[in-house]
Amino acid sequence: MLNTLFRWILLALSLILVAKIVPGIAISGFFAALIAVIAIALINMFIKPLAMFFTLPINILTFGLFTIVVNTALFGLAAFFVPGFFIGGAFPAFLGSILYSIMSLIVNMASGQMKTA
């Protein structure tokens, strides 16, 4: 449980860092970042599998590159639901989703959540 709390805080700090790096993304504070991380996790858990299923044909045609579009849309959806988390367009959502995915990968690897070969 302590590991989960630590990861949650690190992901919130990562999201704040993404907001500082990417113009067009704003977070009002640390609490909003914590809520946004929960929203992103819930969206990735429940909505992303459905989105990936329904976009499977175009995903196959683009050799998986359409997944970036799905991630961008879901990142923007999280900003829509969380007060204090703002994304000002498609391009900031695109950059933010890529940066947040990279930072999330690093946090998960550092906390031992991912098994590497």
Give the Cα separation of 23 and 4 in Å (integer). 29
| pLDDT by 10s per residue, the chain, length 117 | 778 899 999 999 999 999 999 999 999 999 999 999 999 999 999 999 999 999 999 999 999 999 999 999 999 999 999 999 999 999 999 999 999 999 999 998 988 766 555
What are the residue boundaries of the structural domains of the chain, listed by start?
2-110
Give the Cα separation of 96 and 15 in Å (integer). 9
